[in-house]
């Protein structure tokens, strides 16, 4: 049992109206300050210890169950308003007999949705019913995983576990109605397939808040001031003038913002349509800008190759025709003398029938074909031609 002996938020005292009681199966009574589900949320005006939350808690170790827990102290958790606190999984301890100061820095995470990730905005697209929505809280992956486990528990064991909220119309497990529920629960708890199924169906939240804490501790109260502090606290708790508290049963907490701002971590697409087109244009301009001459030279090489190929084909066809023409002759080609003899005019050959007809004459050479006797071929001066024409006229 934890009892709040003193509470200050900034310079104003806070009361039970600012706390929401919540029962935890392991830690018993838990109190959520400034949850914002039913009461009005209190704003923080400035950073620093003086403007934060100050608590003095009575741990009540005499009420501890010895077989349930062996740790003495206060379990703390900083979480976003309207979100369910999972103290056992995410909380920290504050040691008794100390003053613990916790400085807080806030980081807001904004994840990209589809098609970049599988995050969800409010859990409406998750195929698991959020059992913690009855507390008027927002979606979280921790709530989804525990709701998924409770669904599997009901499907396999026919009852719900007391650590998790119960769906409507179902019953919590007990030894009278469900005698074998403990074995069923242990088997389901150790099942790897169940864990993978829940992790696969549950999604991260697209908007999340993380709190980074700087923790420092000191002994409290000091030896010089413990008498009057214990008198005041004993009067506050038991309305007694005697000291009914001890150092091992109290703890003082200071929770405050270190800086009055927060850091936003936002996911952005590494490449979208605009960047893709821009990168393609840049790469094309970089590579092709210096390669235009190379393309021209390549085209020239192709044209030269085609032209040389055409010339070689024409030469090859000519040589082929020549070889075919030479193949028509059976023997060697005729000589010049044979060609001249083939064109000799036999009318000018000497008469060999009467060789003694001209005994005194010398043997003349065999003439070839005489040239034609054309006057037009004679070159004469122009005055001679005119005089001859005048004589003919007389």
Residue 251 resides in a domain: yes
Residue 145 resides in a domain: no
Alpha carbon separation from 366 to 36, 102, 346, 351 (Å, rounded): 143, 142, 10, 11
Q: What is the pTM of this model?
A: 0.65
For residues 112-125, average pLDDT:
87
Residue 298 resides in a domain: no
Give the range among 23-27, 54-58, 172-176, 376-380 with minimum mean pLDDT: 376-380
Domain containing residue 88: CATH number? 2.60.470.10
Q: What range does the domain containing 20 cover?
A: 1-103+212-259
Residue 56 resides in a domain: yes
Residue 337 resides in a domain: no
pLDDT per residue as tens digits for the range 252-300: 999 999 988 888 888 888 777 888 888 887 777 766 665 666 778 888 8
Contacts of 65 (CB under 8 A, 6+ apart): none
Question: What are the counts of helices (DSSP H) followed by strands (DSSP E) for the chain?
Answer: 9, 10
Instruction: Indicate whether 8 pLDDT > 80.
Output: yes
- How does 171-192 read in b/e, with b if 16+ C-beta sit within 10 Å? eebeeeebeebeebbeebeeee
Residue 238, pLDDT score: 78
Residue 108 resides in a domain: no
Residue 158 resides in a domain: no
- Residue 298 three-state SS: helix
**Both tokens of residue 234?**
């004993």
Share of the chain above pLDDT 70, in %: 80
For residues 189-207, average pLDDT:
91
- Residue 221 three-state SS: coil
366 vs 42, more confident: 42
Torsion of CA 278, 283, 286, 287, to 10 degrees: -150
Q: CA 173, CA 181: separation in Å to the nearest integer? A: 7
Instruction: Give the total number of structural domains in the chain.
Output: 1
What order of strands is seen across the sheet that includes strand 98-110?
12-13, 3-9, 53-58, 250-266, 98-110, 207-219
Residue 237, pLDDT score: 79
Residue 245 resides in a domain: yes
Give the range among 135-139, 152-156, 293-297 with minimum mean pLDDT: 293-297
Nearest to 76 by CA among 199, 204, 217, 206: 217
Q: For the chain, what is the mean pLDDT?
A: 81
Instruction: Indicate whether 394 pLDDT > 50.
Output: no
Res. 27 pLDDT band, cuts 50 70 90: confident
Residue 393, pLDDT score: 45
Instruction: Indicate whether 35 pLDDT > 70.
Output: yes
- Residue 367 three-state SS: coil
**Both tokens of residue 155?**
């499907």
Q: Is the dihedral of CA 160, 166, 168, 172 positive or negative?
A: positive
Residue 330, pLDDT score: 54
């Amino acid at each position: 049992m934890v009892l709040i002996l003193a509470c200050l938020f900034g310079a104003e005292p806070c009361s039970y109206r600012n706390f929401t009681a919540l029962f935890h199966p392991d830690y018993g009574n838990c109190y959520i300050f400034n949850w914002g589900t039913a009461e009005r949320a209190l704003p923080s005006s400035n950073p620093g210890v003086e403007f934060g939350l100050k608590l003095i808690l009575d741990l009540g170790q005499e009420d501890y169950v010895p077989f349930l827990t062996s740790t003495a102290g206060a379990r703390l958790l900083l979480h976003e308003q309207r979100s369910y606190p999972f103290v056992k999984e995410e909380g920290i301890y504050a040691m008794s007999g100390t003053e613990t100061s916790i400085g807080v820095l806030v980081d807001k995470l904004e994840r990209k949705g589809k098609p970049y990730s599988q995050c969800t905005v409010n859990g409406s697209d998750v195929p698991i019913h959020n059992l913690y929505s009855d507390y008027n809280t927002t979606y979280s992956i921790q709530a989804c995983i525990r709701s998924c486990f409770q669904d599997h528990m009901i499907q396999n064991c026919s009852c719900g576990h007391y650590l998790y909220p119960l769906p409507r119309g179902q019953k919590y497990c007990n030894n009278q109605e469900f005698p074998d529920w403990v074995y069923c629960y242990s088997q389901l708890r150790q099942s790897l397939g169940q864990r993978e199924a829940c992790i696969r169906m549950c999604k991260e939240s697209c908007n999340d808040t993380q709190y980074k804490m700087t923790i420092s501790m000191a002994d409290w109260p000091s030896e010089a001031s413990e008498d009057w502090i214990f008198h005041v606290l004993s009067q506050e708790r038991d309305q007694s003038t005697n000291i009914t508290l001890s150092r091992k049963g109290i703890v003082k907490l200071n929770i405050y913002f270190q800086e009055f701002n927060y850091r936003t971590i936002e996911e952005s697409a590494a490449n979208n349509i605009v960047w893709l087109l821009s990168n393609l244009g840049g790469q094309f301009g970089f590579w092709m800008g210096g390669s235009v001459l190379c393309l021209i030279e390549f085209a020239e090489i192709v044209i030269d190759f085609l032209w040389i190929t055409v010339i070689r084909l024409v030469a090859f066809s000519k040589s082929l025709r020549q070889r075919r023409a030479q193949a028509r002759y059976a023997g060697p080609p005729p000589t010049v003398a044979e060609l001249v003899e083939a064109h000799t005019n036999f009318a000018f050959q000497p008469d060999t029938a009467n060789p003694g007809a001209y005994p005194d004459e010398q043997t003349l050479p065999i003439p070839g074909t005489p040239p034609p006797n054309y006057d037009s071929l004679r070159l004469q001066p122009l005055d001679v031609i005119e005089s001859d024409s005048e004589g003919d006229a007389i």
